[in-house]
A and B are shown apart, each in its own frame.
Chain A
Amino acid sequence: MNPVQTQGGLEVRDLRKDFRQGGLFGRARRVVRAVDGVDLAVAPGGSLGLVGESGCGKSTAARCILRLVEADGGTIRYEGTDVRAARGPELRRLRRRVQMVFQDPYSTLNPKRTVGQTLEEPLRVHGLAGGRAAREAARALLAEVGLGADALERYPHEFSGGQRQRVGIARALILGPSLLVADEPVSALDVSVQAQILRLLDDLRERRGLSFLFVSHDLGVVRHICESVAVMYLGRVVERGPVRAVFDAPLHPYTRVLRAASPVPDPGARVALARIEGEIPSATAPPPGCGFHPRCPLATARCRQERPALREVAPGRAVACHHSD
């Protein structure tokens, strides 16, 4: 296992999360290894993209970091604090440092609360501000995300998807976190709105010195907004490195497949579409050895038996593949 060191920032090592299915009355319990030994790091002020397709575990990993889901193994450290072990006041303090932006703008805001109430609530709950001060803070944050103060008295249904997502971002920032975890924050938005939100996130990051963990299935978005990227497949990180290097010269066969399949607005870049074989295997019955071997053009006997470890093959670049030598 390759130790990943950062000063402060986010450090995740060997993260594991299993989900159990069934198991009542003697039926075989199925264990889904949603996250199966993940190493990640985000330096302070850095931005890491976490990409992969459904079932790869990226959303689960993100939720473990926020303690929305309790991990089963591994360590998560943020700014030196042990995230998994945090309780009570320490957990509360952690929640002020790490926050999340969610995917669906239409369910991310309580329809029965005004925007003002939604933004002020975290301040009150954490005892950071009340009354006028909270209102002022809410107003300031709305301005920061590009919404007017008149939004305070309005309800979510009066806003479009992009605007609601701005409110969601404002809510995530109201406690002043230094790490923002975003789970597909623009997937549900139109292209033109997506661009607006991405630019907003860029600006905020620069202005506030935020670190980002950006979970997405869209490689184009990740390339635009992240400095580095980790590619996940079946609960594990299969490749990690600077975003341009990984996308322009992928080392792992799965990254190559993912990259090749990602549509590009250029008819000249048409790829032989039918070349990509196979289905994403179910996480309840992952293949032995390397999880990708059933679909891998380079698979050998070793791949079928032995799981490759994530190894650094060049400064800053790591791959989990037997053929990376």
Chain B
Amino acid sequence: MTRPPEDPVLAIRGLRTEFRSGRTWYPAVRGLDLTLYRNETLAVVGESGSGKSVTALSILRLLPESGARIAAGRIELEGRDLLRLSEREMERVRGDRIGMVFQEPMTALNPTMRIGDQVAEALRIHRGLDRAAARREALALLEEVKLPSAAQRMDEYPHQFSGGMRQRVVIAMALACRPQVLLADEPTTALDVTIQAQVLGLLDELKRSHGMSMLVITHNLGVVALIADRVAVMYAGQVVEEAPVRALFAAPRHPYTEALLRATPRVDEDTAALAPIPGQVPSIRAMPAGCAFAPRCPLRRPRCEAEAPPLHADGERLLRCWVRNEERIAA
């Protein structure tokens, strides 16, 4: 993969998203920095409680009205800070500049609307196309996502399609207005393995042909290995490691990344002993002082428990770990 050029398409700086419990606000995303460059696929990996889905919702500003807020940070899409936009302006961004694909296609699609119309809707709203033109464009999109017999089936309803087909329709909707960024949150988790492979392949191909950037959020390391150019690993609301995909898998540096890889059973190799990670992800209400991973970390030192490590850059890689960073500097 080529080195990313200098200008980022999407730049998140210091994002802090909080949830309220009782009267106190607790951060679920704690000072997140992420950069998505042109024509690349950035995978954000994390387990539940990592804050990855909250990040996606924050970018799109789709957090629930009460009980959640973006407390700090900037999210710049081609230079414009999305957090400063009014809701009307944000509506123009969603679906037009940023396309979204979520996990459950059945909830993304309106069950009472024909799929052709749903794809066309985005075009009519954002691009102002008339009915006929939007319909023609919608057909072209459905063919682009390889929906079989698109011309005949575009007047059918979502329930008449399988899960994989529905997800293709959702992708067509997401791409309708040729967005710069495609945001996909667990896009294939609900799909069967062979269908997943098809849909991921499709996303990859479309990204290339449309010249888009893709931000894929997932918990599945296998999916990451399949389609990512760069990977950011999240834990407890922060990025703990970021690297180009091959480097990350070949030489993971953060103890959490290592632990995840060791805990993943593989179909191509014998994983003699799966090494489970002891303990649990901290609740946002009980975040440890110092490094959030320290309580579970085999390498922890006193400093880790006292002081939270910063995200340290080392060439193309980012790492948030006292111990490993020291080793790198010493080496």
Contacts and interface: CB of A to CB of B under 8 A. Distances in A.
Interface of A: 53-54, 160, 162, 190-196, 198-199, 217-225, 244, 247-248, 257-274, 276-277, 279-280
A280 B192 CA distance: 9
A279 B265 contact: no
B192 A54 contact: yes
B266 A220 contact: yes
Given A192-B47, A224-B271, A263-B220, A276 B249 contact: no
A217 B193 contact: yes
28 contacts: A53-B192, A191-B260, A193-B276, A195-B263, A195-B264, A195-B277, A218-B265, A220-B222, A220-B267, A221-B265, A224-B265, A224-B271, A225-B265, A248-B268, A258-B194, A261-B193, A261-B194, A262-B267, A263-B193, A264-B266, A264-B267, A265-B221, A265-B224, A266-B266, A267-B228, A272-B201, A273-B197, A276-B198
A218 B197 CA distance: 14
Given A217-B192, A274-B205, A265 B276 contact: no
- For chain B, the bracket of interface size reads 35 or more
B280 A265 contact: no
Interface in B240-270: 245-246, 249, 259-261, 263-268, 270
Contact of B165 (A266, A272, A279): A279
Interface of B: 47-48, 162-165, 192-198, 200-202, 204-205, 219-226, 228, 245-246, 249, 259-261, 263-268, 270-271, 273-277, 280-281
Nearest to A268: B246
B162 A279 contact: yes
A192 B193 CA distance: 21
A314 to B, nearest CB: 21
Given A223-B267, A265-B224, A160 B194 contact: no
Given A191-B221, A244-B270, A279-B165, A263 B226 contact: yes
B198 A273 contact: yes
B200 A273 contact: yes
Contacts of A258: 193-194
B47 A266 contact: no
Contacts of B194: 53, 257-258, 261, 276, 280
Contacts of A260: 197
A272 B198 CA distance: 10
Given A194-B263, A267-B249, 19 more contacts: A190-B281, A192-B259, A195-B277, A199-B274, A220-B264, A223-B267, A224-B265, A224-B270, A262-B267, A263-B223, A264-B222, A264-B266, A264-B268, A265-B266, A270-B226, A271-B197, A273-B200, A274-B205, A280-B195
